[in-house]
Chains A and B, each alone.
Chain A
Amino acid sequence: KQEVTQIPAALSVPEGENLVLNCSFTDSAIYNLQWFRQDPGKGLTSLLLIQSSQREQTSGRLNASLDKSSGRSTLYIAASQPGDSATYLCAVSWGNTGFQKLVFGTGTRLLVSP
């Protein structure tokens, strides 16, 4: 079964710290991988999408890497801010089905303290 796991479930850091969120997946033949942010009571916002042929993607203070052979992706957040506090979800799609059927991890809840 194709599964996505995120550890830790929760993370608390002081403002300004650099941090890494982890995502692992069980089948290396992925189509792409996405990182989302979810604020309490809100929907999901896409942060970064990495194609299976790519190794990383960057957007501002965020950098996502992909290592298919080890079944892992990391989301690096530089110089964290209280506004980064949210739940971060990793989602993977497999195969080449022509549409996106994402399998989500359960997320990492991040709290950045001032």
Chain B
Amino acid sequence: NAGVTQTPKFQVLKTGQSMTLQCAQDMNHEYMSWYRQDPGMGLRLIHYSVGAGITDQGEVPNGYNVSRSTTEDFPLRLLSAAPSQTSVYFCASKADRAGANVLTFGAGSRLTVL
């Protein structure tokens, strides 16, 4: 049981390049989400999903796309990277849509956009 796995751990991009941050969980969790963490601003929700085929926007969705074709995977796509997207990205999941289940976080992906 690996929990939430994020790849890559580190990535450097040039402005305008595209890339996908991968997130996979092996706990059969319905809910998955992406956060970004910036100094002095806490973690902010980018996109989330309450099940396969269902996604919605969080607080800071601009510049990011997501899809949820399977329960296990929730990739985050940057179509045209900008320096403002330099951040640490965290994927998190939990078991139920409602209730008190805590979020399980991945170890994070540090992205630098030059």
Cβ of A43 and Cβ of B105 under 8 Å apart? yes
The segment out of B14-22, B66-74, B90-98 that lies at the interface is B90-98
Cβ–Cβ contact B97 & A104, under 8 A:
no
B100 interface hit (Cβ, 8 Å): yes
Contacts of A44 in B (CB 8 A): 43, 90, 92, 103, 105
Question: What is the minimal beta-carbon distance from B55 to any residue of chain A, in angstroms?
Answer: 12
A107→B97 contact, CB < 8 A = no
In Å, the complex CA distance between A96 and B99 comes to 9
Which residues 63-112 of A sit at the B interface, judged by CB distance below 8 A? Answer: 89, 91, 96, 98-107
Q: How many residues of B contact A (CB 8 A)?
A: 26
Return the chain A residue nearest B51 by Cβ: A99
Known: A32-B100, A49-B100. A43 touches B42 (CB 8 A): no
Residue numbers in B under 8 Å from A105 (CB-CB):
42
CA distance A89 to B35 in the complex (A): 14
A4-B107 CB under 8 A given contacts A49-B100, A100-B31, A101-B58: no
Q: Does B41 contact A (CB under 8 A)?
A: yes
CA distance A99 to B97 in the complex (A): 4
Q: How far is the CA of A36 from the CA of B31 in the complex (A)?
A: 19
* Chain A residues whose CB sits within 8 angstroms of the CB of B106 once the complex forms: 43
Complex interface: chain B residues within 8 A of A36 (CB): 105
Docked CA distance A104–B60 (Å): 14
Distance of A107 Cα from B94 Cα, bound (Å): 22
Once the chains bind, are A106 and B40 in contact (CB under 8 Å)? yes
- By beta carbon, the residue of chain A nearest B30 is A99
